Amino acid sequence: MKKILGIALIGFISLKANSQGCVAIKSTGGFCTAMQANHTEAADKWMLNVNNRYFKSFRHFVGTEEQKQRLENNTEVINYAYTLDLFLVRELKNGWSVGLDLPIISNTRSSLYEHGGKNRYNTNSFGLGDVRFTVYKWMVSPAKMSKGNVQLGLGLKLPTGDYKYQDYFHTSDSTTILGPVDQSIQLGDGGTGFTTEVNAFYNFSKKIGVYGNFYYLFNPREQNGVSTGRGKPASAASISNGSDVMSVPDQYMFRAGATATLNKLAFSAGIRKECLPAKDAIGGSNGFRRPGYIVSIEPGLSYQVKKVNLYAYVPFAIKRNRTQSVPDMIRTEKTGVYTQGDAAFADYVVNIGCSFKF
C-alpha cells in the first residue's frame, strides 16, 4: 500500500501556476506536494523536488481569437521561459509539513515593437524569483489514511525576485536605452502575498485513482511602481488609463484528473486551468497587466526508483483567452470604443524533474 500511495501522489508533483506566455503568472505556483501521505515515525523526513519548466510563447490572442496575422507578417512577440524550481519539504508529526520554494529563472523576449518596429532584438532576465514558504496539513492522519486524503496549505510569498529588472532596448540599430523589461519576463511581481492550496486524491484500487489540486495567490499590493515605458517616459494615454506602471496581480491554478499505475510506472491524464484574473480578490486592480487564462489537457508519466521519482508532464493548451484588463475597461469607458489588448501564449509547456526522499 505504501508504494501505491506514493505513486498516486506523484500526480501532485511540481506543476506550477505559471502561464504559457505574456500573461505574466510568475513561478510561485503550488507544488501540489509529492510527499508520502502514509507518514510514520520511520518514514523519510525530507523531500527535495527539482523541476525544470520550459515554454515558448508566440501565438497572440485577443479574447479567444488568435491574431494569425502576427505570425504572417513577423510581428509576433516570442518569449522563451525557463525556470529551475527547487522545492524542499520537511515532514513533521501528525500530518504537518513545511515547504520552501526557490525558483531560478532565465527568460528571453524577442520583439520588433519594443525596438523601433523595424528589426527584431532580444531582452533578457536572469536570477532568483519570488520565494515561497508554505505550511501543509493532511486533514486525516496519514498513519490512518487508507484510500484517500485531503491536504490544505497556507503560504507566504516574498518579493525576492527582481521586479525592476532592466535591459537595453534599441531605439535604432546603433542606439540603445536602458529600461525595465516587459512584465512577462520580470523575475518577480514586487508584492508580498499569501497562498492557499487544496490537494486531494482518492484510490479506487491499487491501480486506478483520481487527484485534484487548487492553488490561489493573493497579492494585496495594487502596483509596484515600475514604469512600462521601457526606458522612455510613459505616454499620456497610458497615464490616463493607469497602465503606465505595472500591477501586482493575483493568480490561480486548478488541476483534476486520473492516474493509473503499473509496477513502478504511473500514468496520469487530466485537465488544467491557469488564470491571471483581471481583478484581485483583495486590494486594487489597476496598473498594467495582461489578464487571461489557459485551459490545457495534461498528460503525465512518472517512474519510481526506491526513494527517487522521475517525471514528465506536458500540458497542451486547448483554450487561450486574453481577457479585458482594468486599464482596458477605463479606456473603453473614456473613449466609448471597446478596448481589449492582446497576449502571446504557448502551445505547450514542458515540465521534467525528479524528487528525492531522505
Query: Quick check: 24 pLDDT over 60?
Result: no
Count of domains forming the chain: 1
| CA–CA distances in Å: residue 343 to residues 38, 43, 46, 130 | 43, 46, 40, 23
Q: Which amino acid is at 316?
A: F
CB 123 within 8 A of CB 81: no
Spatial distance between the Cα atoms of 277 and 87, rounded to a whole number of angstroms:
26
Query: Quick check: 4 pLDDT over 70?
Result: no
pLDDT of residue 43: 55
pLDDT of residue 141: 83
Residue listed under C-alpha cell 519548466 = 53
Residue listed under C-alpha cell 493568480 = 251
Sequence-ordered list of residues with C-beta below 8 angstroms from that of 42, at least 6 positions apart, any chain: none
Average pLDDT, rounded, for the chain: 89
Worst-scoring range by mean pLDDT, 24-33, 48-57, 100-109, 308-317?
24-33
Query: Quick check: 47 pLDDT over 90?
Result: yes
Retrieve residue 221's grid coordinates.
499590493
The model's pLDDT over 98-136, given as tens digits with 9 standing for 90+, comes to 999 999 999 999 999 999 999 999 999 999 999 999 999
Identify the helix (H) or strand (E) that includes residue 303: strand 292-305
- Percent above pLDDT 90 for the chain: 83
CB 86 within 8 A of CB 53: no
Residue count of the chain: 358
Mean pLDDT across 69-91: 96
CB count in 10 Å sphere of residue 68 = 11
Spatial distance between the Cα atoms of 19 and 293, rounded to a whole number of angstroms:
8
Spatial distance between the Cα atoms of 11 and 31, rounded to a whole number of angstroms:
10
Query: Quick check: 275 pLDDT over 60?
Result: yes
If one compares 39 and 288, the residue with the highest pLDDT of the two is 288
| CA–CA distances in Å: residue 271 to residues 253, 257, 277, 322 | 11, 6, 19, 19
Spatial distance between the Cα atoms of 234 and 163, rounded to a whole number of angstroms:
18
Q: Which amino acid is at 49?
A: N
Q: What is the 3-state secondary structure (H, E, C) of 227-267?
A: ECCCCCCCCHHHHHHCCCEEECCCEEEEEEEEEEEECCEEE
pLDDT of residue 26: 53
If one compares 41 and 90, the residue with the highest pLDDT of the two is 90
pLDDT of residue 96: 94
Query: Could you tell me if residue 102 is left (phi over 0), alpha (psi between -120 and 50 degrees) or otherwise beta?
Result: beta
Spatial distance between the Cα atoms of 43 and 204, rounded to a whole number of angstroms:
24
Mean pLDDT across 199-209: 93
69: phi then psi, degrees, rounded to nearest 5: -65, -25
Identify the helix (H) or strand (E) that includes residue 6: helix 2-8
pLDDT of residue 19: 53
Provide Rg for the chain, Cα atoms.
21
Query: Quick check: 320 pLDDT over 60?
Result: yes
Exposed / middle / buried, residue 270 (Cβ in 10 Å: 0-12, 13-18, 19+): buried
CATH number for the domain including 236? 2.40.160.40
Spatial distance between the Cα atoms of 285 and 289, rounded to a whole number of angstroms:
9
Query: Quick check: 16 pLDDT over 80?
Result: no
Query: Quick check: 8 pLDDT over 90?
Result: no
Identify the helix (H) or strand (E) that includes residue 71: helix 69-72
Query: Quick check: 81 pLDDT over 50?
Result: yes
Residue listed under C-alpha cell 510506472 = 265
Query: Quick check: 192 pLDDT over 50?
Result: yes
Worst-scoring range by mean pLDDT, 88-97, 127-136, 318-327?
88-97
Retrieve residue 270's grid coordinates.
487530466
Structural domain boundaries, residue 86: 2-357
The 3-state DSSP class for residue 168 equals strand
The model's pLDDT over 254-269, given as tens digits with 9 standing for 90+, comes to 999 999 999 899 999 9
- pLDDT-derived band at 20, boundaries 50, 70, 90: low
329: phi then psi, degrees, rounded to nearest 5: -65, -40
Q: 292-305 and 316-322: which strand pairing?
A: antiparallel
